[in-house]
Amino acid sequence: MIKVATWNVNSIKARLPNAMEWMRTAAPDVILLQETKVQDNDFPYLEAESMGYRVAARGQKSYNGVAILSRIGLAEVTKTLPGDPENGEARYIEAMLEDGMRVASIYVPMGQSTTSDRFPFKLAFLDAVHDRARDLLTREEPFVLGGDYNVAPEDVDVYDPRGWDGHVLFHPEERARLRRLFHLGLTDAFRALHREPHCYTWWDYRAGAWQRDLGLRIDHLLLSPQAADRLVASGIDRWCRDKDKCSDHAPVWCELS
């Protein structure tokens, strides 16, 4: 059994005690982190390695940043996304595990607002993820594309779908981009096993969103058919969001046989 998790940690240094507690408790074999907010040299390698993880990181000072932590070993690390509208932002890292499964940690731009020039950048980034997934599918190998996609797929993934409709995180254009990934044949690991409502992964720090459960499900683990065939469990570790000095995201995980 392999447990793969994704988590927008919202600064690995600020959340390190929480992250280490979660790693000890949840014990994922592979962790895909986003928004680490540190340059490569400042990533807490020693702490991760003390818990049995090998680390591949693509960092950026104060912003963005992605990493892969693996107890299975890492090979063929790639730190660029083909077709990405390159602007120096650390948003993608991919690696082959020593057991033959490929994983990627993805931090899709939020987009700011639909009138911002960041919104077309977000759509172009999602297009690049689609093209990379399409290319990987031709290899017929198991892979997991996990991360903070900054898109809620369906009404059930938003606490107020009518109020959010047309806004960033739930705009028709970005939702269509995410559906294109599903139409390729990728499986949403969480929704494949859970159809119940009020299953969110992100709650704003403001306006008591956490306490009122006003959340969105914007963090996803997307599985190739070869990985989806092995899916046996999935979940969201909401308890992490209730910790002192917590990230505004909760980890999402799946188990593959």
Catalogue the active-site residues: 107, 148
Nearest to residue 26, comparing CAs of 228, 241, 252? 252
Instruction: Identify the three-state secondary structure at position 227.
Output: helix
Tokens of residue 63, six digits = 């912003």
Whether 181 and 238 have beta carbons less than 8 Å apart is answered as: no
Place of tokens 């988590």: 7
Bridge partners for 104 per DSSP: 94, 145
Whether 97 and 31 have beta carbons less than 8 Å apart is answered as: no
Phi, psi of 141 (to 5 degrees): -120, 155
Amino acid making up residue 141:
E
Q: Which residues of 172-209 are buried (b: 16+ CB within 10 A; e: fewer)?
A: eebbebbebbeeeebbbbbbeeeeeeebbbbbeeeeeb
Q: From CA 153, how far away is CA 216, in angstroms rounded? A: 10
Tokens of residue 49, six digits = 């390695």
Q: From CA 188, how far away is CA 157, in angstroms rounded? A: 12
Whether 114 and 165 have beta carbons less than 8 Å apart is answered as: no
